[in-house]
């Protein structure tokens, strides 16, 4: 079959128009800039090719941590090895691919038709056949393609915000797990000092009993205090091991391959005024994504509106009739009549979903602010408790112990009084550790909400 050269040229021109404007792939344009908190730690993005991103169990087990693990090293391992963050990163890659796909035009179609064949009489064979070939293409109206791309981009930006939120969550969770390990180590060190204190008291009591200044029963009480202190020491050692396992799990490790954590609890520093700290909320993902979320809702409505516009089908080609030996040029035009379906239900659904989404955004804003106020209140309480314990209770407990032990040696107090002072001192040390730990954890929670360090005045000014 042959067609007119003009038909060929027209078909080729239509094909060029259809395919020449296809979008090219774009990558790494949806990601949001990292918030200040933990930004110095590298959070790996998934590669463009998903094939090499599927690690084997051997590769996961090969993650090595330094023997003395610092907070920066722990955060780096967690951000590099967290399956949760990797999954959030792949959501962004999926969104990039969806936006790329939304930019493609529909494919043209080739229609081949033969008529006046296998009939009766003079049309019983193929001598009277009329064959035609048409290149057909649908022209979308209403700006569907552009609006689909905009909607896909808006959804992709939300995925990127989710990735940043996941990064901050992993940073904070790792930080808290690290602090828990530090607390466990300090509690074990406190237990060691308690054993030493109990052994020292036993030596004093033994000397007093030998000198006849104390009854033998007091030595028994002192020995029981040593046994109890040693039991607490064993328990605290087990807690250290458990805290190490919980920390290693942050980067997917099933075996602890570090010996200790190298860090200390954050010293209590008076928080700035709440109004100053609250300014950081605007840059946190929970609120910074607000405008992109509105764009996503509006884009979905725009797509639904555009779907109601009819698409025009056009076609060009040629026909050849064997019986008359004639060729002709074909032009087709198909225009749907929007009599019944103009996507009314789809538009109503999109608008209802957008209205619901706006209410959910308002709820999320209110919840975020309420969560911040509660966390900031907890931080203030933890700060005052830590300072009170450090500056008032600890010195007095030490003074009470020193004076009571000195009085016991001088025969002014019974061992029961010395033992009570010793227990009071140990309990105050434990209270001091708990207060400092509560402050450090509360500070980590507030900084997660504002996505920056609370006392970073430079970031606060921004």
Residue 300 pLDDT class (50, 70, 90 cuts):
very high
Phi, psi (degrees; rounded to nearest 5) at 313: -100, 130
For residue 326, list its beta bridge partners: 321
* Any domain includes 71: yes
Farthest CA pair distance, the chain: 140
* Any domain includes 231: yes
Residues 237 and 373 in one domain: yes
Residues 218 and 297 in one domain: yes
Q: Which DSSP helix (H) or strand (E) runs through 279?
A: none
What pLDDT, on a 0 to 100 scale, did the predictor assign at position 3?
Answer: 41
Q: Last residue of a domain, which of 299, 321, 342?
A: 342
Quote the tokens at residue 181: 């390990």
Percent of the chain, pLDDT > 70?
87
Query: Residue 221's domain spans which residues?
Result: 143-308+349-462
Kindly report the average pLDDT of the chain as a whole number: 86
Domain count, the chain: 2
Percent of the chain, pLDDT > 90?
48
Residues 264 and 387 in one domain: yes
Q: Is the pLDDT of residue 460 over 70?
A: no
Residue 266 pLDDT class (50, 70, 90 cuts):
confident
| Calpha distance 393→398 (Å, rounded) | 9
* Any domain includes 96: no
What pLDDT, on a 0 to 100 scale, did the predictor assign at position 71?
Answer: 95
Residues 396 and 327 in one domain: no
Give the model confidence (pLDDT) of 88-119 as tens digits: 999 999 999 999 999 898 899 998 887 767 65
Mean pLDDT confidence for 127-152 = 86
Residues 301 and 392 in one domain: yes
CA-only gyration radius of the chain, Å:
37
* Any domain includes 99: no
Nearest Cα to 268, choosing from 176, 388, 187, 446?
388
Residues 280 and 328 in one domain: no
Q: Say if CB 245 and CB 256 are below 8 A apart.
A: yes
> Which residues, including other chains, have CB under 8 Å from residue 344's CB and lie 6 or more apart?
308
| Calpha distance 155→159 (Å, rounded) | 6
Residues 204 and 74 in one domain: no
What pLDDT, on a 0 to 100 scale, did the predictor assign at position 173?
Answer: 96
What pLDDT, on a 0 to 100 scale, did the predictor assign at position 121?
Answer: 57
Give the model confidence (pLDDT) of 346-361 as tens digits: 999 999 999 999 999 9
What pLDDT, on a 0 to 100 scale, did the predictor assign at position 213?
Answer: 83
* Any domain includes 92: no
31/462: higher pLDDT: 31
- DSSP assignments along 221-274, one per residue: HHHHHHHHHHHHHHHHHHHHHHHHHHHHGGGT-SS---SEE---PPPP-PPPPH
| Lowest pLDDT segment from 174-188, 271-285, 318-332 | 318-332
What pLDDT, on a 0 to 100 scale, did the predictor assign at position 353?
Answer: 92
30, burial (CB in 10 Å: exposed 0-12, middle 13-18, buried 19+)? buried
Mean pLDDT confidence for 252-281 = 90
Q: Is the pLDDT of residue 204 over 80?
A: yes
Residues 76 and 152 in one domain: no
Residues 239 and 354 in one domain: yes
What pLDDT, on a 0 to 100 scale, did the predictor assign at position 119?
Answer: 58
Give the model confidence (pLDDT) of 1-43 as tens digits: 344 444 445 445 545 554 445 456 677 888 888 899 998 988 8
CATH of the domain at 225: 1.20.1600.10
* Any domain includes 165: yes
Mean pLDDT confidence for 324-331 = 81
| Calpha distance 298→302 (Å, rounded) | 6
Q: Is the pLDDT of residue 126 over 80?
A: no
| Calpha distance 415→215 (Å, rounded) | 9
Phi, psi (degrees; rounded to nearest 5) at 243: -70, -35
* Any domain includes 303: yes
Mean pLDDT confidence for 232-250 = 95
Residue 52 pLDDT class (50, 70, 90 cuts):
low
> Which residues, including other chains, have CB under 8 Å from residue 195's CB and lie 6 or more apart?
226, 229, 230, 233
Q: Which DSSP helix (H) or strand (E) runs through 384?
A: helix 344-388
* Any domain includes 32: no
Q: Is the pLDDT of residue 417 over 70?
A: yes
Q: Is the pLDDT of residue 192 over 50?
A: yes
Residues 4 and 147 in one domain: no
| Calpha distance 398→426 (Å, rounded) | 10
Residues 278 and 377 in one domain: yes
Three-state SS annotation for 123-148: HCCCCCCEEEEEEEEEECCCCHHHHH
Mean pLDDT confidence for 132-137 = 88
Half-sphere exposure in the Cβ direction for 295 (13 Å, CA): 17
3-state secondary structure of 40: coil
420, burial (CB in 10 Å: exposed 0-12, middle 13-18, buried 19+)? middle
Q: Is the pLDDT of residue 125 over 70?
A: no
What pLDDT, on a 0 to 100 scale, did the predictor assign at position 58?
Answer: 46
| Calpha distance 434→412 (Å, rounded) | 34
What pLDDT, on a 0 to 100 scale, did the predictor assign at position 5?
Answer: 47
Q: How far is CA 296 from the centre of its chain?
A: 20
For residue 331, list its beta bridge partners: 316
Residues 124 and 255 in one domain: no
**Per-range mean pLDDT, top range of 46-60, 109-123, 144-158, 401-415:** 144-158
Q: Last residue of a domain, which of 323, 342, 361?
A: 342
3-state secondary structure of 329: strand
Residue 317 pLDDT class (50, 70, 90 cuts):
confident
Q: Report how far apart, in Å, the C-alpha atoms of 387 and of each of 415, 433, 444, 446 are.
A: 31, 11, 18, 19
Pairing of strands 260-261, 68-69: parallel
What pLDDT, on a 0 to 100 scale, did the predictor assign at position 62?
Answer: 52
């Amino acid at each position: 079959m042959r067609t007119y050269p003009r038909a060929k040229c027209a078909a080729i021109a239509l094909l060029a128009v259809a395919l020449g404007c296809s979008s090219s792939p774009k990558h790494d344009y949806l990601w949001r800039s990292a918030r200040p908190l933990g930004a110095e730690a590298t959070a790996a993005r998934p590669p463009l090719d998903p094939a090499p991103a599927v690690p084997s169990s051997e590769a996961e087990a090969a993650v090595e941590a330094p023997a003395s693990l610092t907070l920066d090293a722990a955060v780096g391992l967690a951000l590099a090895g967290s399956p949760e963050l990797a999954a959030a990163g792949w959501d962004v890659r999926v969104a990039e691919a969806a936006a790329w796909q939304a930019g493609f035009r529909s494919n043209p179609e080739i229609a081949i038709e033969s008529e006046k064949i296998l009939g009766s009489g003079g049309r019983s064979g193929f001598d009277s056949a009329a064959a035609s070939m048409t290149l057909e293409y649908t022209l979308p109206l209403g700006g569907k393609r552009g609006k689909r791309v905009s909607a896909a981009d808006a959804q992709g930006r939300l995925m990127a915000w989710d990735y940043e939120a996941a990064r901050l969550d992993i940073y904070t969770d790792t930080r808290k797990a690290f602090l828990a390990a530090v607390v466990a180590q300090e509690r074990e060190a406190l237990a060691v000092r308690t054993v030493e204190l109990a052994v020292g008291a036993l030596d004093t009591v033994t000397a007093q009993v030998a000198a006849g200044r104390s009854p033998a029963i007091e030595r028994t009480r002192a020995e029981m205090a040593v046994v109890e202190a040693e039991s607490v020491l064993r328990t605290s050692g087990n807690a250290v091991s458990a805290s190490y396992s919980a920390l290693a799990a942050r980067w997917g490790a099933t075996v602890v391959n570090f010996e200790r954590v190298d860090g200390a609890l954050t010293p209590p520093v008076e928080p700035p005024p709440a109004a100053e700290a609250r300014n950081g909320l605007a840059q946190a993902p929970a609120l910074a994504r607000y405008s992109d979320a509105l764009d996503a809702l509006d884009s979905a409505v725009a797509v639904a509106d555009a779907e109601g516009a009819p698409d025009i089908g056009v076609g060009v080609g040629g026909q050849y009739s064997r019986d008359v030996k004639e060729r002709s040029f074909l032009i087709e035009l198909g225009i749907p009549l929007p009599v019944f379906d103009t996507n009314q239900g789809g538009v109503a659904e999109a608008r209802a979903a957008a209205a619901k989404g706006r209410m959910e955004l308002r709820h999320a804003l209110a919840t975020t602010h309420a969560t911040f106020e509660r966390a900031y209140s907890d931080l203030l309480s933890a700060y005052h408790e830590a300072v009170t314990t450090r500056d008032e209770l600890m010195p007095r407990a030490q003074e009470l112990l020193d004076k009571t032990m000195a009085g016991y040696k001088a025969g002014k107090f019974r061992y029961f009084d010395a033992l009570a002072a010793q227990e009071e001192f140990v309990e105050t040390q434990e209270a001091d550790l708990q207060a400092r730990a509560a402050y450090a954890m509360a500070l980590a929670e507030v900084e997660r909400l504002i996505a920056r360090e609370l006392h970073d005045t430079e970031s606060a000014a921004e």
